[in-house]
Amino acid sequence: MADLLTGASGSVSAETLDLARLQFALTAGGHFLFVTLTLGLATIVACVQTRATISGRPLQARMVRFWGQLYVINYAVGIVTGIVMEFQFGLSWSGLTHDVGNVLGASLAVETIVAFFVESTFLGLWIFGWNRFGKWVHLALIWVVTLTAYLSAYWILVANGFLNHPVGHRMEDGRAVLDDVGALLTNPSALLAFGHILAGSLLTAGFFMAGVSAYHLFRRTPEWEFFGRSLRIGVFVSLPALVVTAGFGGVQLASLADLQPMKSAVFQQKTAEIAQLQTDLAARFGPGNYVPSEAWTRGGALVMLIAFALMMYLCVAGTVLGCFRKVVFRFRLWHVVLMASVPLPYLAMISGWVFREAGRQPWVVYGVLRTRDAVSEVSPTAMRTSLIAFTTLFVLLAVVNARLLWRHARRGPVESGLGHDERAARDDRTDGDEPGPADPLPATRY
C-alpha cells in the first residue's frame, strides 16, 4: 500500500483509489459476463431465425421465441451495467479522460453512436415488432442487432486494446494526441481479443443452450424434439467455438512477450526476468513497483487454462455423442454433465479477463499512465457509498437475472411474452381470456 501513496497525485487518497478500482472491476467484470451470453445467444437466435424464416417450420419458429426470450432477459441486465460503466470513466477516472481522452474517448464515442444506438433501436423494433413486420424484415432486424453488437464489441476492444497496448498516438505536453488511426484500429491487442471474445461468447451460449436442453431431456419433458435439436445446436457450436477461442488465446499469449513482457514473465514465474524488467522500468519511469499481483495474474491464467482443458474434453466427447440420436435423448449421465458444465465458459471468460486486466497493473494505459494517477479526486466516503449502492444493485440484478433465466428455462417453450401475438388475443376474446402461462408456445404468425 505504501507505494500507492508516493504517486504524483498525492491529493487522492489510497483508499479512494482502491475503492474506485474495486468498483470498476465489479462493474466491468459483471457487465462482461452478461454480455458474453448476450453476444453468443444473439448469434444463435439470428441463425435459428434465418432457418425458421427459410423453412417456415413451426418448431424452428418456436425455438426463436424460447431462446430469444432468454436472450432478452439477459440483455436487460447487460445493458444497465453497461450504462453505469460508460459513465464511470468520467466519474472515477477523470485522469484517463484528461491524459488519453483524445484517443480513448474517440473509440468510446464511435461505439455509442455508430454501434450501440443502432443496436438498441433495432432491438426495440425486434422485440415489439413481432407480428407487425413481414418475416424477412423481422429477420433483418435481429441480424442488424447481432452485427451492431459485434461492432460494439470491436470498438470497446479498440479502447481496451489501447489501454493494454497504446498505439497510434504521440505524447504532447503529457497528453496523448491521435496520430495514426490505422494503427489504432488494427492494434493487435484489440483484434486478437476481439476474435477471442466473439468465439468465447459463442462457446458460452453453446454450453448454455446444451445445459438447458439437457435439463429438459433429463426430466423427460414432452418437448423432446425441441430440446433434442437445441442440444445438438449447443454441442455442435461449442467445439469449433472452443477451437477458435483457444487459437486466438494462444496467439495472444505468445504476443505478450513483445507487448507486455512483465505480464508474460509473471505468468511464467521467471523470477530473474521479473527482477530485470523491474530494474529497467524503474530506470525508465522512476522508482515504483512495476510487478503486477502474481496471485491475480498467474491465478487468473491458470484457472482459465484448467477450464479450457475441461471444456476441450467435454466438447470433443459432446461432438461425438451428439451424432447419435439415441444418445442425445437417453444418455442421462451426459445430460447431468452438460447441466453441470454451464458455468465453465463463464469461469474461463472471467479468469481470462482478470489475467488481462490485473496483469497490466500498475498501468491503466500501459507505459503511459499509472492507475493511481488516473483516479478522480473524489472523497473516499463518496466513492464508498457509490460502490456499496452499485454493488448491491448489481448483485440483486444478477440474482434476479439468474432466477428468471432459470425459471423461464425450466418452464420450456410456453407462452411467456416475447413474440406474443396481441391481435390474436383480441380476436379470440369471445371464447375466453388471455392465453395462460401454461399454454404451449405457438409458432409466430407472420
Partner 1 sequence: METLAIVLLGFFVAGYFVLGGADIGTGMMLPYLGRDEAERRIVIASFAPFFLGNEVWLVATAGVLIGCFPELEGELLSGQFVVVVPLLIGWVVRDSGLWLRGRAPGGSSVWRALCDGAVVCGSWAVALSWGRLLTALFSGSPGTPAPGPAAVLTALAVAACFAVHGLGFAAVRLTGAPYERARQLMGRTRPAQSLALTAVLMAALPLLAGRLLPLYESAADGATLALLVPVVLVITPLLVAVQAWLWRTFRHRVTGPSYL
Scan residues 403-422 and list those touching partner 1 (CB under 8 A): 404, 407-408, 411, 416-418, 420, 422
Nearer to partner 1, 95 or 318 (CB): 95
- DSSP-assigned states of every residue in 93-138: -HHHHHHHHHHHHHHHHHIIIIIIHHHHHHHHHHHHTTTTS-HHHH
Residue 250 C-alpha from the chain's centroid: 19
| Helix (H) / strand (E) containing 369 | strand 369-370
Among 50, 121, 293, 319, binds partner 1 (CB under 8 A): 121
Q: Which of residues 59-78 bind partner 1 (CB under 8 A)?
A: 73, 76-77
Examine residue 128 and tell whether it contacts partner 1 (CB under 8 A): yes
Place of cell 509473471: 266
How far apart CA 166 and CA 103 sit, in angstroms, is 9
Q: Which stretch binds partner 1 (CB under 8 A): 123-131, 202-210, 232-240, 248-256?
A: 123-131
Examine residue 29 and tell whether it contacts partner 1 (CB under 8 A): no
Examine residue 120 and tell whether it contacts partner 1 (CB under 8 A): yes
- SS3 at position 377: coil
Cα within 13 Å of Cα(276), Cβ side: 7
The least distance separating partner 1 from the CB of residue 331, rounded to whole angstroms, comes to 29
Examine residue 275 and tell whether it contacts partner 1 (CB under 8 A): no
Query: What are the start-end ranges of the H helices in 294-363?
Result: 294-321, 325-330, 332-340, 343-358
Q: Which of residues 347-406 bind partner 1 (CB under 8 A)?
A: 376-378, 382, 385-386, 389-390, 393, 397, 400, 404
Place of cell 487459437: 247
Examine residue 226 and tell whether it contacts partner 1 (CB under 8 A): no
Q: Which stretch binds partner 1 (CB under 8 A): 97-105, 188-196, 208-216, 258-266?
A: 97-105
Give the single-character DSSP code of 293: P
Nearer to partner 1, 84 or 231 (CB): 84
How far apart CA 231 and CA 326 sit, in angstroms, is 13
The least distance separating partner 1 from the CB of residue 273, rounded to whole angstroms, comes to 36
The least distance separating partner 1 from the CB of residue 33, rounded to whole angstroms, comes to 17
Size of interface with partner 1, in residues (CB under 8 A): 75
The least distance separating partner 1 from the CB of residue 415, rounded to whole angstroms, comes to 10
- Look at the alpha carbons of 300, 401, 73, 230 in this order and tell me if their dihedral is positive or negative: positive
Among 51, 98, 135, 270, binds partner 1 (CB under 8 A): 98
How far apart CA 398 and CA 409 sit, in angstroms, is 16
Q: Which stretch binds partner 1 (CB under 8 A): 90-98, 198-206, 221-229, 326-334?
A: 90-98
Nearer to partner 1, 92 or 260 (CB): 92
The least distance separating partner 1 from the CB of residue 107, rounded to whole angstroms, comes to 8
Nearer to partner 1, 110 or 210 (CB): 110
Q: Which residues contact 4 (CB under 8 A, 6 or more apart)?
A: 14, 17, 18, 372
Place of cell 462493474: 27
- DSSP-assigned states of every residue in 78-97: HHHHHHHHHHHHHHH-HHHH
Nearer to partner 1, 113 or 323 (CB): 113
How far apart CA 112 and CA 13 sit, in angstroms, is 32
Q: Which stretch binds partner 1 (CB under 8 A): 88-96, 189-197, 252-260, 304-312?
A: 88-96
Examine residue 18 and tell whether it contacts partner 1 (CB under 8 A): no
How far apart CA 370 and CA 153 sit, in angstroms, is 25
Cell numbers standing for residue 111: 461505439
Nearer to partner 1, 166 or 359 (CB): 166
Q: Which stretch binds partner 1 (CB under 8 A): 35-43, 55-63, 91-99, 234-242?
A: 91-99
Q: Which of residues 166-205 bind partner 1 (CB under 8 A)?
A: 172, 175, 177-179, 181
- SS3 at position 177: strand
Q: Which stretch binds partner 1 (CB under 8 A): 3-11, 84-92, 249-257, 302-310?
A: 84-92
Q: Which among 354, 360, 361 is positioned nearest to 303, based on CA atoms?
A: 354
